[in-house]
Structure 1
Amino acid sequence: MKPNHKGRAQIFQNPVLERLTRTHIALPIIIFISIAGGLIYYGITYSFISVIEASALFMLGWLIFTLLEYLAHRFIFHMDTNTPLKKNIQYTFHGNHHEFPKDKERLAMPPIVSVFIASLLFFIFKLVFGPLVFGIVAGLLFGYALYLFVHYAVHAYAPPKNFLNILWLHHSIHHYKDPEAAFGVSSPLWDYILGTMPKRNK
C-alpha cells in the first residue's frame, strides 16, 4: 500500500461513526495520564500498595505495555488479510494509517474504544494481580500515553535532534521501507529480542 501524505481515508459512511474514528492527540494523552495518576494515588492512599511497591509495579506495567504494543502491532494490526473480512478489519484498525500516515486525527485509537479496552484490562489484571493492579495498570496506561506522544511526534514533525531521533527513524522504516519489521513504536526493545529489527543499509 503506497503512503499518501495528503488526505484521509473514509472508514464509515455514517457521519457520526466516521467522526468517532478521529481524535485530537492531546485528548487520549490527558485521559490516560490522569487515570494512571489516579490509580497510583488511590492505591497508595488506601494502602493497597506502598510507595516503593508503586514505583516497582509502575515500571513493570510500563514494560508489559511495550510487549503488548509490539504484539498487537505485529499480530493484530498486521494480520494476514487472506479473506475479505480480515482485509476490512485490518484496514479499519490500521491499514488506513499506513495509507494516510500524515492524518494527525487518526494517530490514536478513539478514546471511547481505548477507555473500554483499558477498563477490560484493569479487571483482567485485577483477577491476576489483586491489589497490585493499581501500580501495574498505572504503568501500562502511562506507557500507552507515551506511545501516543512518540507516535504523534514521528508522523507530525521532522526528525528531531534529540533522543527521539532513534524512535523516529525506527518507525519511519516500518512505514516507508519495511512494514514487516520495526513493530515497536515507543521502544525497539522487543524488535531486538524477537528478531524483527530492520536491516539497515550502512
Structure 2
Amino acid sequence: MVAQGYIVDLKKPLVFQVGHLGEAYQEWVHQPIVSKEGPRFFQSDFWEFLTRTVWWAVPTIWLPVVCWSVSRSMAMGHTAAEIAAMVVFGIFIWTLMEYTLHRFLFHIKTKTYWANTAHYLLHGCHHKHPMDGLRLVFPPAATAILCVPFFNIIKVFATPSTTPALFGGGLLGYVLYDCTHYYLHHGQPSKDPARNLKRYHLNHHFRIQDKGFGITSSLWDRVFGTLPPAKESLRKR
C-alpha cells in the first residue's frame, strides 16, 4: 500500500513501519483489512508474544482480583447490599472511562513517527485488522499497569473501606467490556440487544468511525451527542 510515497509491506513486521506514513497514517489505518489472520508486529518473538492475548485470559486473570477486592470491603464491615451498590457504581464509572478512553485517546489524531507508532499499538491495529482474534482484548501486562493509576484515583475520592469494592466493580466493568468486545467481533448473536449492539459496533468500524464510541452500550454516545445517525446503521446481517 502506498501512502505519501511510503510503502507499508504487510508481509513484514508493521509496528516500526507505520510511523513513516506521517499525515497519511490516519487514512491508511481506517481502511480495514477484514481477515482473521493477524499481521506480525515485531521481528522479536518475545515482543510479538506480548501483543497476542486469547480472550479467555481476561476473565481467568481478573475475575479472581475482582473477588478479592470485593471481599476486602466486605471484611471491613460493609453489608452485602452496600457491596452490591459499590460494585454497580464501579461498573458505571468504568462505562464512562470506556467511552472517554475510546473517544479521546484511542481515536486521537497523530502524524509524527512515534505518535503514529504508539497509536497503532494502542488502537490503530484494531481498526486496520478488526477481526484479529488475538488482539481484540488488552494484554494482561498493559491492564496491570493501568490498574495502578485507576486504583489510586479511586483512593482520592473514596474511603479506605469502600475503595476495594469500587475498584473491583470498575475492574469487573473492564472484564465485561473486553469479553463483550470480543463477542461483538466473533460471535453471531441472533437476538437483541446483542444483535443490535453488534451492528452498532461494526458500524463504528466500517461506516462512521468518528461516532459510536460505546462498546458495552450506547449510553454515553447518547449523552454526549456522538450517536451515529440512524441512516448510517448497518443492515441486519
State the TM bucket, normalised to the shorter chain: over 0.9
1:94-173 residue pairs with structure 2 within 5 A?
94-131=123-160, 132-173=162-203
**Correspondence 1:64 to 2:93:** yes
Question: Could you say what the CA RMSD is over the residues aligned between the two structures, in angstroms?
Answer: 1.5
CA deviations on 1:62-97 (whole Å, 9 max, x unpaired) are: 111000000111111110113222211111111111
Q: Which has the larger radius of gyration?
A: 2
Partner Cα distance (1:26, 1:195) in 2:
33
Partner Cα distance (1:195, 1:74) in 2:
12
1:191-202 residue pairs with structure 2 within 5 A?
191-201=221-231
The one-letter code sitting in structure 2 at the alignment partner of 1:118 is C
Partner Cα distance (1:196, 1:8) in 2:
30
Deviation at 1:130, TM superposition (A): 2.5
Segments ≥4 residues shifted beyond 6 Å: none
- Higher relative contact order by CA 8 Å / sep ≥ 6: 1 or 2? 1
1:17-96 residue pairs with structure 2 within 5 A?
17-47=47-77, 49-96=78-125
Could you tell me the TM-score, scaled by structure 1's length?
0.93
The structure with more helix, counted as a fraction of residues: 1
**Correspondence 1:179 to 2:173:** no
The one-letter code sitting in structure 2 at the alignment partner of 1:97 is H
The one-letter code sitting in structure 2 at the alignment partner of 1:42 is R
Aligned residues: 201
